[in-house]
């Protein structure tokens, strides 16, 4: 019998285990997202854009209430808060 493929495994369970391992590693499990322009809150936590969008777009909150919630999320820069609220 000749081998038609570059890799031929004699044990199918080994091949399956290797495939599952490669898929888990390739999906980025356990990978820390580290990008240079991320927004870090006052407590060192990552500020999520969806949370900020929820606050800014909520019509039931006044601007003062939005400022309070944005500060609670960890955004302390008043210029950034002004920029978020003046869309």
Q: Structure pTM?
A: 0.54
- What distance in Å separates the CA atoms of residue 23 and residue 21, rounded to the nearest whole number? 5
**Does pLDDT of 70 surpass 60?**
yes
Are 46 and 40 contacting, i.e. CB atoms less than 8 angstroms apart?
yes
Overall average pLDDT of the 34-63 stretch: 80
- What distance in Å separates the CA atoms of residue 68 and residue 52, rounded to the nearest whole number? 12
- Please give the share of the chain, as a percent, with pLDDT higher than 70: 56
pLDDT of residue 46: 77
Domain boundaries, the chain: 49-85
């Amino acid at each position: 019998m000749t081998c038609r493929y570059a890799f031929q495994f004699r044990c199918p369970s080994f091949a399956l285990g290797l495939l599952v391992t490669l898929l888990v590693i390739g999906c980025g499990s356990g990978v820390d997202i580290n990008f240079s322009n991320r927004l870090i809150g006052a407590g060192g936590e990552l500020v999520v854009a969806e949370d900020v969008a929820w606050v800014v777009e909520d019509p039931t909150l006044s601007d003062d209430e939005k400022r309070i919630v944005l500060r609670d999320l960890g955004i302390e820069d008043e210029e950034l808060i002004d920029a978020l609220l003046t869309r």
